[in-house]
Structure 1
């Protein structure tokens, strides 16, 4: 009966133990057009509620097994075409983002925003960029890149902002920690993957980063590694 099916959709279906609740993803009692509409609304709700980009695997939990996530996203994007926000593909998933043309209005309102990127100093931002390019990279290697010490406080600030995390131990003497960027880094800067980083040659030409510094340090370390 229709009433029973509606109850299943909203309350779940108990199966096996009392703790096991199965969510009705297939919605077989609905006609195709209403089923598709309900899947669209579910996907939009999940993305809207999430603080981070939502992956395809996550969205697949709330729609039918034969549902095309890509077609749903296409339909949602079309529906939001005239809205001040859109669905963007970022960091391996999808996320709601305000359209750039409304950035001025949001700033002028001084309203608190969700998921605002942590403010970094210019040097912290450059260190973060270097981690993105050279990861996994040690603090010593970062210091070589910039020609001055990258302090533990700088690393701590980037870790606190969840932009970087510890990577594998370096094979160099002392096995220092290396650092790598996180999914939050990709999300905060609107990138789908590290391939979206700006062209490193342009930064080298501007004198902001030096690939040679890291390579030179690696060559100096090689004899010490071979002796162990």
Structure 2
């Protein structure tokens, strides 16, 4: 005999099915030009309302099954060509962003913004970038990269800001935690993938990072028994 939870699940599925029927994605009664325009407006509305980049799968829920999301985005970008903001591809999705040339204007206005990039110290920013290049990486590895200890507080601050998450345990003695960057990291710094990180060779030439420290120095389990 089905219990209350099964009944709730059945009702929930029924409600979702009814919602799908009531929400007309296909717009078959519209002329093609008006249908396309409505899909464009729907996609733009969803992206505008979201605080995070919107994935293709999310946008596909509000347009017809045969609608090309990429072509819709292309048309929206064309419409925004003369506007101070644009649609950008970040973190496997799309987001509205103010154009770079208006950055000084926005700063001069002192208006509150919805920027998702937390204020980081120079060292925190460099640690975050190092994780981006070397992930999954332990705190001990990061300390070798910079030639000084990367503290638990620094890692905690980056995790609290949503830029870092725990990766797999390291196979080295003591099985220390490793750290990886998040989609929020990509979004906050306007990157679509990690391939958009600055050229690491240039940073090495400037003495800011050292791949050799991670690749060739033996790992130590000392001081790596930290918990999440």
Q: Which residue of 2 aligns with 1:181?
A: 181
Q: Distance in 1 between matches of 2:160 and 2:166?
A: 12
What displacement does 1:163 show? 0.7
Report the number of matched residues: 207
Deviation at 1:217, TM superposition (A): 2.9
Partner of 2:93: 93
Question: Is the CA contact (8 Å cut-off) linking 2:162 and 2:184 kept in structure 1?
Answer: yes
Shift of 1:105: 1.4
If the length of structure 1 is used for normalisation, what is the TM-score?
0.87
* Partner residue in 1 for 2:197: 197
**C-alpha deviation, 1:24, in angstroms:** 1.2
What runs of 5+ residues in structure 2 fail to find an aligned partner? Answer: 1-12, 222-228
Higher strand share: 1
Structure 1: unaligned runs, 5 residues or longer: 1-14, 222-228
Q: Deviations over 1:165-213 (max 9, x none)?
A: 0000000011010000000111111111011111111111111111111
After TM superposition, which residue ranges in structure 1, 4 or more long, deviate above 2 angstroms?
A: 15-20, 216-221
Separation in 2 of the partners of 1:210 and 1:153?
A: 22
Distance 1:125 1:17, change over 3 A: closer
1:52-201 aligned within 5 A? 52-201=52-201
Q: Does structure 2 retain, via aligned residues, the 8 Å contact 1:51–1:115?
A: no
| TM-score, with structure 2 as normaliser | 0.87
Is the Cα–Cα contact under 8 Å of residues 141 and 219 in structure 2 kept in the other structure? no
